[in-house]
Amino acid sequence: MGSILIKTEIPGPKSRIIQEKRAKYVASPMGSLASFYAKEGHGAVIEDVDGNKFIDFTGGWGCLAVGHTPEKVVNAVKDQAEKYLHTDFTAVPYEPFVDLAKMIAERAPGDFEKQVGFFNSGAEAVENAVKIAKGVTKRKGIVVFDYAFHGRTLLTMTMTHRAMPYKYIYGPFASEVYRLPFPNSHLNKLKVSDFEQILEDRVCPENIAAVVIEPIQGEGGFNIPPKGFLEEIRRVTKKYGIMFVADEVQSGYGRSGKFFAVENWNVAPDLISLGKSIAAGLPLSAVVGNKKYFDSLPNSSIGSTFGGNPLACRAGIEVINIIEEEHLLDRAVHLGDIIKKKFNEMKGKYPAIGETRGIGALRAIEFIKDRDTWEPDSDTAKAVIQEAMKNGLILAGAGIRGNVIRFLIPLVITDEQLNEGLDVLDRAIETVTK
CA distance 426 to 298: 55
Q: Check residue 68 for interaction with ligand PLP (CB under 6 A).
A: no
Cα dihedral: 244, 409, 419, 324 (round 10):
80
Going by C-beta distance under 8 Å and a sequence separation of 6 or more, which residues neighbour residue 63?
A: 276, 277, 280, 281
Long-range CB contacts (within 8 A, 24+) of 96-99? 96/310, 96/313, 96/314, 96/317, 97/308, 97/310, 97/313, 99/313, 99/317
Q: Which of 139, 150, 314, 334 binds ligand PLP (CB under 6 A)?
A: 150
Q: Pick the stretch among 6-14, 146-154, 164-172, 384-392 that binds ligand PLP (CB under 6 A).
A: 146-154
CB 178, CB 144: distance < 8 Å: yes
Number of residues that bind ligand PLP (CB under 6 A): 14
Which part of the chain contacts ligand PLP (CB under 6 A), choosing from 149-157, 253-261, 396-404, 420-428? 149-157
Asked whether position 122 contacts ligand PLP by CB under 6 A, the answer is yes
Q: What is the closest distance, in whole angstroms, from the C-beta atom of residue 1 to ligand PLP in the complex?
A: 34
Other CB atoms within 10 Å distance of the CB of residue 27: 7
80 is a site residue for ligand PLP (CB under 6 A): no
Tell me if 318 contacts ligand PLP by CB under 6 A.
Answer: no
146 is a contact residue toward ligand PLP (CB under 6 A): no
Per CB under 6 A, does 70 bind ligand PLP?
no
Q: Burial level of 343, CB count in 10 A (0-12/13-18/19+)?
A: buried
CB of 44 to ligand PLP, least distance (A): 20
- Beta carbon nearer to ligand PLP, 276 or 342: 276
Closest to ligand PLP by CB, 146 vs 219, is: 219
Residue among 388, 433, 403, 409 nearest 35 (CA): 388
- Should residue 11 be labelled a site residue for ligand PLP when binding is judged by CB under 6 A? no
Query: Is beta strand 353-359 parallel, antiparallel or unpaired with respect to 396-398?
Result: unpaired
Beta-sheet strands, E only, within 371-432: 375-376, 393-394, 396-398, 404-407
In 3-state terms the chain splits into helix, strand, coil percentages (rounded to 5) of 40, 20, 40
- The verdict on 151 binding ligand PLP (CB under 6 A) reads yes
Instruction: Give the residue closest to ligand PLP by C-beta.
Output: 122
Q: Is 256 in the site for ligand PLP (CB under 6 A)?
A: no
Query: Does 255 contact ligand PLP by CB under 6 A?
Result: no
Does 214 engage in binding with ligand PLP (CB under 6 A)?
Answer: yes
Q: Are strands 243-247 and 208-213 parallel, antiparallel or unpaired?
A: parallel
Question: Is residue 271 a contact partner of residue 287, using CB atoms and an 8 Å limit?
Answer: yes
Residues 218-247 that bind ligand PLP (CB under 6 A): 218-219, 247
Rounded to whole angstroms, the Cα distance separating 278 from 254 reads 10
Nearer to ligand PLP, 63 or 322 (CB): 63
Q: How far is the CB of 218 from ligand PLP (least distance, A)?
A: 4
- Contact flag: residue 59 with ligand PLP (CB under 6 A): no
CB of 130 to ligand PLP, least distance (A): 12
Phi/psi of residue 58, each to 5°?
A: -110, -30
Which run of H or of E encompasses 143? strand 141-145
Query: Which residue lies nearer to ligand PLP by CB, 50 or 214?
Result: 214
Cβ closest to ligand PLP, residue 10 vs residue 313: 313
Closer residue to ligand PLP (CB): 166 or 374? 166
Which element (helix H / strand E) includes 286? strand 285-290
Per CB under 6 A, 149 contacts ligand PLP: yes
CB 130 within 8 A of CB 209: yes
Binding region for ligand PLP (CB under 6 A) out of 89-97, 122-130, 184-192, 404-412:
122-130
Beta partners for 143?
Answer: 178, 211
CA neighbor of 365 nearest in space, from 388, 386, 387, 342: 342
Stretch that binds ligand PLP, among 13-21, 145-153, 196-204, 384-392 (CB under 6 A): 145-153
Residue 151 CB, nearest approach to ligand PLP (Å): 4
Q: Decide: is 177 part of the binding site for ligand PLP (CB under 6 A).
A: no
- Which parts of this chain interact with ligand PLP (CB under 6 A)? 121-123, 126, 149-151, 214, 218-219, 247, 249-250, 275
